[in-house]
Amino acid sequence: DGGITQSPKYLFRKEGQNVTLSCEQNLNHDAMYWYRQDPGQGLRLIYYSQIVNDFQKGDIAEGYSVSREKKESFPLTVTSAQKNPTAFYLCASKGRVYTEAFFGQGTRLTVV
């Protein structure tokens, strides 16, 4: 079945560690997105990519990095520079412009 797969579902990070969240899609979508969701808040855009080997900063990119080496994959690294990383992270992909975005199941990241 076509869809978006995020892993892991839960992730724990120690202070000073970098961690990488995986996002894979088999929908043949060109555009992929990373959003962050905090309790009681909407979704805020971290990074997005419209084509392979190209990506753009969103509204809250500081402390995060991404790569887009393959159309299917858009991993997000939460670096030690992100001082408050505890949140729910959602990856999405989209086909043609002005169609809806489809979301993965999310990764819940907790700092321990």
Partner 1 sequence: ELKVEQNPLFLSMQEGKNYTIYCNYSTTSDRLYWYRQDPGKSLESLFVLLSNGAVKQEGRLMASLDTKARLSTLHITAAVHDLSATYFCAVGGGADGLTFGKGTHLIIQP
Q: Which residues bind partner 1 (CB under 8 A)?
A: 31, 33, 35, 40-45, 48, 50, 56, 58, 90, 92, 94, 97-106, 108
**Across the strands, what pairs with 4?**
25
For the CB of residue 63, give the shortest distance to partner 1 in the complex, in Å.
19
Q: How far apart are CA 70 and CA 43, in angstroms?
A: 25
Beta strands across the sheet bearing 64-66: 4-7, 19-25, 76-78, 64-66
Q: How far is the CB of 90 from partner 1 (least distance, A)?
A: 6
**Least spacing, CB of residue 16 vs partner 1, in Å:** 28
